[in-house]
Amino acid sequence: MNFFITGTDTEVGKTYVTKLLIESLRADGVDAVGFKPISCGDREDGRLLAEASGNLNIDEVNPMHLGSALAPLAAALLENKTIDPAELVSAYREFAERQGTVLVEGAGGWEVPITQNYFISDLAKDLNLPVILVAANRLGALNHILLSIKAIQDKGLKCAGIILNQLEDEMDTPMITNKGLLESLTDVPLLEHVIHGQDFLDPDLIDFIKES
């Protein structure tokens, strides 16, 4: 099964987690690849996913790139470009037909605008994929996670699980308590707590992806 990977915000580690998932799945014999429909700013995220996917062509993995480090809507306006959501959906479908397991990484958070009336959440809905939510483990994470889960479910999609990503070496009290509280606040499973610098994933998470 393919998955859509979103974040509670920008810079929470979506690409890092997606890259780890791809590498771990491929090491376990799964033909897993990444797909970044749209990127803004530098193209590092797309490059990392293309390399992790067996050195695929970056234009296949990341069909639309805007040079400005802004939300897609703002970047397109600044660069006088037009984004056609149907082309993003079509690019995914053509890509997925040639691949095994595809992990689609969104841009920023769940409601980042792609056009004036089309958001990352709409793209996920059109792709009709279960969603994995990546959150930076920090103060405020519980609020952002619970709001994001509700928004995903309100869109009629399944939130398949949460991945907490540790962005710092040292852990404070909110970081320590977030994991335990999440398990009591939502039925959505916590799939993994990625420690800062961790370069592997729990085999149970890999089995979860393979068996879904």
By annotation, the residues acting in catalysis are: 36
Alpha-carbon distance of 32 to 57, in angstroms, equals: 15
Alpha-carbon distance of 131 to 188, in angstroms, equals: 11
Alpha-carbon distance of 76 to 92, in angstroms, equals: 20
Please, where are the H alpha helices in 7-140? 14-27, 44-52, 58-61, 72-79, 85-97, 120-127
Give 42's contacts (C-beta < 8 A, 6+ positions apart): 69
Alpha-carbon distance of 70 to 76, in angstroms, equals: 9
- Sign of the C-alpha dihedral computed for residues 113, 118, 122 and 123 taken in this order: negative
Please, where are the H alpha helices in 80-154? 85-97, 120-127, 141-154
Pairing state between β 32-35 and 101-109: parallel
6 pairs with which residues across the strands? 133
Of 45, 50, 59, give the one whose Cα is nearest residue 11.
Answer: 45
